[in-house]
Amino acid sequence: MATQRILDFLATRRPTGPCLVVDLDVVRDNFRAFEKALPDSKIYYAVKANPAPEILRLLATMGSSFDTASVAEVEMAMDAGAPAHRISFGNTIKKERDIARAYQLGIRLFAVDCVEEVEKIARVAPGARVFCRVLTDGEGAEWPLSRKFGCVPAMAVDVLRHAKSLGLDAYGVSFHVGSQQTDLNAWDRALGDAKKVFATLAEEGIVLKMVNMGGGFPTRYLRDVPVAQDYGQAIFSALRRHFGNAIPETIIEPGRGMVGNAGVIKSEVVLISKKADNDNVRWVFLDIGKFGGLAETMDEAIRYAITTAYDGTETAPCVLAGPTCDSADVMYEKTPYPLPLSLTIGDEVLIEGTGAYTTTYSAVAFNGFEPLRSYVI
Amino acid sequence: MATQRILDFLATRRPTGPCLVVDLDVVRDNFRAFEKALPDSKIYYAVKANPAPEILRLLATMGSSFDTASVAEVEMAMDAGAPAHRISFGNTIKKERDIARAYQLGIRLFAVDCVEEVEKIARVAPGARVFCRVLTDGEGAEWPLSRKFGCVPAMAVDVLRHAKSLGLDAYGVSFHVGSQQTDLNAWDRALGDAKKVFATLAEEGIVLKMVNMGGGFPTRYLRDVPVAQDYGQAIFSALRRHFGNAIPETIIEPGRGMVGNAGVIKSEVVLISKKADNDNVRWVFLDIGKFGGLAETMDEAIRYAITTAYDGTETAPCVLAGPTCDSADVMYEKTPYPLPLSLTIGDEVLIEGTGAYTTTYSAVAFNGFEPLRSYVI
């Protein structure tokens, strides 16, 4: 998936040390694909996926809105040129003083999943729009969301009713089907739940206006995934099925789906060795690992495609590990990774589809290694 | 475990946001306890545990040596006043150019666990001392080391023989019994393996001189752990048992045992909520989590002691989670954590025993949150 522009950059600039290279042309194509697939939805780019200023500026120029997780991310989006009305404070866990600060900056759209959070917002962001996140089962996602965010639909009704009673604008419902979601039916189940919240509150005269359908749009790692167009059709059918002719305003929050396939990490093989003469797997140590940007290999959840100069030649299974003195810094061990037998110490490898959730996950200085550098071209 | 000096600092300075406070008096006491417990061993502080310049300077002044994982850590130790002969490059995974750089800086002691690493060292660090790391089973450790580092003892013999044949000083054997190791017998088993490598090579006329007994010395989290004196006695008996009257030079590499109990993280409760009205656990969200410095809660491995202003009052089980929009950012869920029922949003909590493996693990800017700040007093 490395584009010619990325390959040319690496060949010409020859950066030393591990680094991420992101091709803005791919981000541009992804944004257009989302616009085309879901023409009636507003796109809120999930800044946390990759907050590089060049990416935020490109998307701001193209008309994207932004989903932010902190005041720092609100400010990054504004610095990139996004007006406050195109920014959502989408983290359900916020300090009251951070809500106040975001409100001062002009932010009027906030995520909640409990009455406690609603009360903070009512105190320091009077009249703001709130949407309540509903729990989904996350089935079919490679990086499931567990129960950390959201509440059951019945409780969402209480939360939004409470928001209304405190003078807030009970604006809608959100859900997240789980990151890297490849089951198109996941959105259908979640939209069914959302519709129930709409219907229950409508009976009390509270008219919700928006469904935030979150992210979860996958990027291609090793296996093929449905394309944006397929998601668009599945989501539109589900909206029609559950909401009939009264389809609400909708929002999507792609992060991985916007930038994942736009980036490639260049890494170097530091060591290849065995633990005993009769070992049948080799250990391959790269100069990047779990603490240098590949945190999503935790529990071997995300399996990146790795390309070498020897692709197509004979391979053998390898344990793949990072360069730190930490035994947890092993990427693939339970399911060893096939790599060419010709691979040698000092060789470069490309780790594909690493544009999202890499740079900012990287540790500040673990073992003295500097954080992952990134180039946006 | 928070000392009065730490409590006074927090009360007086009232730092905002999560932060680590380290009391140098505790580090000083720990160093002296190790010296007293193992008077014949050299202490190589594992810089990666906490590389704060104040800690390194104190230990350099007290005569400590340093175990480093990268060229950057070598330079930090030297900047703190440690001469090159008191620094070991203890990472078994090194780029050849980093070995060359360390050699230029005067480093002469290197870890290896395979012939490939020996060959790099022979090329760019002629005549250097090398010690070969041997695999241990890690049984009894709370943060086990798996098989990432070391080789089986039979292979260690080959590795050291190869080192000798390439003109290097085949200096010794190292092992690591696993971090936070509470089983005193673990050192005995590992020393038995080390002795076998000594004996086999002695038959060929290669006389090893040193055993690096690594780290693993625990810090107290929730459960009591043996004190340094107990480790000292157990290790000395094991040395005597295996090596008789020919006890070699020995090294220990405490990291967690040196600084773990010297530090306390101050954090704020951002939100307390439930997912449904009938939930029997509350979710407590702090302003620090797995990506902000508490990475060692991965798989709920390390269970920190948390103190609040309401200790001694009635508690109830809580899921404890961090502030980011990442569902993996949950510290304790499988085994919920008992916290006082009176605990309220906005309260401060202290996370004890967090002087090691926190600041440098913290992500550079995940979700826009800044890395963990630290104060060394």
Domains present along chain A, CATH in parentheses? 90-254 (3.20.20.10), 261-376 (2.40.37.10)
**Average pLDDT of B356-363?**
91
Q: Which of A34-43, A133-142, B280-289 has the lowest mean pLDDT?
A: A133-142
Chain B partners within 8 Å of A113 (Cβ): 273, 275
Query: Looking up tokens 């999202």, which residue turns up?
Result: A356
* Contact predicate A20/A265, CB 8 Å: yes
Token pair of B309 as six digits: 């202003």
Amino acid identity at A247: I
Chain B partners within 8 Å of A110 (Cβ): none
Interface contact B367-A346, CB threshold 8 A: no
The 8 Å CB, 24+ separation contacts for B96-105 are: B96/A345, B96/A346, B96/B120, B96/B123, B96/B124, B97/B124, B98/B70, B98/B71, B99/B124, B99/B125, B100/B124, B100/B125, B101/B71, B102/B71, B102/B74, B103/B128, B105/B71, B105/B74, B105/B75, B105/B78
Q: Which residue of B has its CA nearest to A16?
A: B97
Q: Which of A88-97, A181-190, A278-287, B106-115 has the lowest mean pLDDT?
A: A181-190
State how far the Cα of B300 lies from the Cα of B357, in Å rounded to an integer.
15
**Average pLDDT of B341-367?**
94
State how far the Cα of B252 lies from the Cα of A342, in Å rounded to an integer.
38
Task: Output the pLDDT for position A279.
Answer: 87
ipTM for this prediction? 0.92
State how far the Cα of B172 lies from the Cα of B132, in Å rounded to an integer.
6
Calculate what percentage of chain A has a pLDDT beyond 90. 80
Most confident of A221-230, A360-369, B249-258: B249-258
Task: Output the pLDDT for position B118.
Answer: 98
Q: Which residue of B has its CA nearest to A269?
A: B95
User: Please, which residues bridge with residue A131 across strands?
Assistant: A111, A172
* Contact predicate B315/B278, CB 8 Å: no
* Catalytic residue list of A: 325
By CB neighbour count within 10 A (0-12 exposed, 13-18 middle, 19+ buried), where does A53 fall? Answer: exposed
Token pair of A356 as six digits: 């999202």
Residue A285, φ and ψ in degrees, nearest 5: -105, 125
> Where does the pLDDT of residue B58 fall: very low under 50, low under 70, confident under 90, or very high at 90 and above?
very high
Q: Determine the distance in angstroms separating the CA of A245 from the nearest CA of chain B, rounded to an integer.
A: 31
Chain A partners within 8 Å of B274 (Cβ): 114, 151, 155
DSSP per-residue codes, B334-368: EEEEEEETT--TT-EEEEES-SSSSTTTSBSSGGG
State how far the Cα of B32 lies from the Cα of B258, in Å rounded to an integer.
10
Chain A partners within 8 Å of B329 (Cβ): 148
Token pair of B62 as six digits: 């007290």
Task: Output the pLDDT for position A300.
Answer: 83
Q: Where are the beta strands (DSSP E) in A288-365?
A: 306-307, 315-321, 330-340, 348-352
The 8 Å CB, 24+ separation contacts for A7-15 are: A9/A375, A9/A377, A10/A266, A13/A375, A15/A266, A15/A373, A15/A375
Interface contact B91-A149, CB threshold 8 A: no
Task: Output the pLDDT for position B80.
Answer: 98
**Average pLDDT of A241-260?**
95
Calculate what percentage of chain A has a pLDDT beyond 70. 96
Interface contact B274-A363, CB threshold 8 A: no
Interface contact A151-B275, CB threshold 8 A: yes
- Point out the residue among B48, B144, B295 whose CB comes nearest to the CB of A367: B48
Interface contact B324-A48, CB threshold 8 A: yes
Amino acid identity at A271: L
Task: Output the pLDDT for position B222.
Answer: 63
> Where does the pLDDT of residue A299 fall: very low under 50, low under 70, confident under 90, or very high at 90 and above?
confident
Residue-wise pLDDT tens digits, B120-176:
999 999 999 999 999 876 555 555 556 899 999 999 999 999 999 999 999 999 998
Residue-wise pLDDT tens digits, A318-349:
999 999 998 889 999 999 999 999 999 999 99
> Where does the pLDDT of residue A34 fall: very low under 50, low under 70, confident under 90, or very high at 90 and above?
very high
Task: Output the pLDDT for position B13.
Answer: 95
